[in-house]
Chains A and B, each alone.
Chain A
Amino acid sequence: MTANTEALERQIAEWRTYVARGKAMAGPDVEELEGHLRDQIEALTAAGLDADEAFLVAVKRIGSLNALSREFAREHSERLWRQLVLGAESPGGKPPRTEAAVVLVLAAAAAVAMKLPELFGLGFGPGSEEFYARNLSFLVLPFLTIYLAWKRGLSISALTRLLVLFAAAGVVMNLYPFQLQGHTLPLAAIHLPIALWLVVGVAYAGFRWRESSERMHFVRFSGELFIYYVLIALGGAVLSLLTVGMFQAIGLDAEEFISRWLAPCGAAGAVLVGSWLVEMKQGVIENMAPVLTRVFTPLFVLALVAFLATMVWTSRGIDLEREVLIGFDVLLVVVLGLLLYAVSARDPLAPPGHFDALQLALVVSALVVDVVALAAIAARISDFGFTPNRTAALGENLVLLVNLVWSAWLYARFMRGRSPFGALERWQTSYLPVYAVWALVVVVVFPLVFGFA
């Protein structure tokens, strides 16, 4: 009997997760519906059905969840895209037309900012890489920050404080005497957006950035923005190819226009437009991220296990070139992204399931790969000494290692029912600033330590 109720509880939990995924239904709605399901199951079991049958019949009677979601969406249309992002304090939000106008103006401003340096002879393209390496982040991210601050209703003084951070970073990036052909400038250029993304996050959370749930929303926002950005970029590429083709047919070369105007302006504007789409279509794509996570988690586990098995089988060590180093870091970041997404999309109340076991396997195999990479980096450092690249890779691996070790520990405890899932969620969200701090170290401290080489 207890095994029976346990199975029933699991079925109900799975059903709840599934229902809760439709963003039209808020927590209390799901609870109400679950209460109904339980009442129905009780009545049916009292009439002689066993738990399994009763569950199936009760679920069937509730009816098509799609149709139900639609009804809920019609009744609670405001929820579809606001309920998650905005706190209780600003339920109204901004009128859509005004928002569209603000986004378009800011996107245009970002596009203009991309072209403005050209007036000073720093056109986008060969010859001014150094300028753009130093300043690319400042041409786009402040506009995104302004949009989010406006959307969240931050005060002017709060927004000013955030923009001062950008200005300070801009001063550092432009006053540092980076050596040409050095490694510290590219490293700083890569890490700067990561550090500044935290500022964007503060604007996003509207100064409630200490709260775990707000940080989780920002993680979702970032992932969804990435998905949208890739989609827009693909569309832009198709558009560019077709445009070039069309103009070729009448004997004109459009490539110059595309590479000097369309690509840079589009790339800058798309950040704003993408963010706006994420804010607006919250419900639509939010269902996409968990699906992608489910598809790719098993595949990444396979890839990592295959890699480790091959390494053991052929007893090859990792021969670390710089490209490979970065490759490993990217791999670990992707794994961490998958983990974060899976965590953000999961119902914290559901009991452990198969997917959690898979997730744990992913974390553990990533951990082993991380240790292997770390050993290789350490060996190289002890042979050839510290360079900016190796040190950055070492630091990133350590930062990721700490996260992965503790995640694996919390996941294992959760699987054995020792701690709630929320602990893992809180660990991930409280670790977020560590990435930004490390990125800041690479931007600010590295050039000083390595003499801007």
Chain B
Amino acid sequence: MAQGMDINKDLVAASATPLVLAILAERDSYGYAILKRVSELSGGQLAWSDGMLYPVLHRLERLGYVSGKWAKSESGRRRKYYRITQRGREQLDAERRQWQAVDTALRNVWSVLAARTTPELLSQGC
């Protein structure tokens, strides 16, 4: 599996909430499967240490964005399944708007920079 580049910790932490909520909006899931989905979605670029997902899930549960339920898995072990709640969906919408705003701003500034720096770099002979 591709090793993720070093993404800033704060960024990883900030993106955890919308990512987990979005994955649960796709379908109900449990810890291990959520992590697999994160890895798939990011092409292996977003590397969390696996354990850190659980405090995040518990926080979302406390905030009422997801609800957890213990149930038997197909292997016969008890497993905690999470489901997104109505509040969670609202939160996801809010997060989506915020991230889109950030994304738009960054995209704009990237394209300005790209247009400007290429000739400068060439003239410096880099």
Contacts and interface: CB of A to CB of B under 8 A. Distances in A.
A76 B54 CA distance: 12
Given A29-B54, A72-B55, A75-B62, A61 B32 contact: no
B50 A36 contact: yes
Nearest to A64: B49
Contacts of B35: 36
A40 B49 contact: no
Contacts of A76: 58
Given A38-B77, A61-B49, A63-B49, A33 B54 contact: yes
Interface size class of A (residues with CB under 8 A): 20 to 34
B52 A68 contact: yes
Contact of A62 (B50, B55, B78): B50
A420 B80 CA distance: 27
A29 B52 CA distance: 12
A65 interface: yes
Nearest to A29: B54
Contacts of A65: 51
B89 interface: no
A32 to B, nearest CB: 5
A319 interface: no
A74 B32 contact: no
Contact of A36 (B31, B70, B75): B31
B49 A74 contact: no
Nearest to A19: B51
Contacts of B58: 29, 72, 75-76
Nearest to B55: A71
A63 B50 contact: yes
B59 A75 contact: yes
Nearest to B61: A75
Nearest to A70: B55
Interface string B38-63: 00000000001111101100110010
28 contacts: A28-B70, A29-B58, A32-B31, A32-B80, A33-B51, A35-B30, A35-B31, A35-B32, A35-B73, A35-B77, A35-B80, A38-B77, A40-B50, A42-B75, A61-B49, A61-B50, A62-B50, A63-B51, A63-B52, A65-B51, A67-B49, A68-B55, A72-B54, A72-B58, A74-B55, A75-B55, A75-B59, A75-B62
Given A36-B54, A61-B49, A64-B49, 19 more contacts: A28-B80, A29-B58, A32-B31, A32-B54, A33-B54, A35-B73, A35-B79, A36-B31, A40-B50, A62-B50, A62-B51, A63-B50, A68-B49, A68-B55, A72-B54, A72-B58, A75-B55, A75-B58, A75-B59
Interface of B: 30-32, 35, 48-52, 54-55, 58-59, 62, 70, 73, 75, 77-80
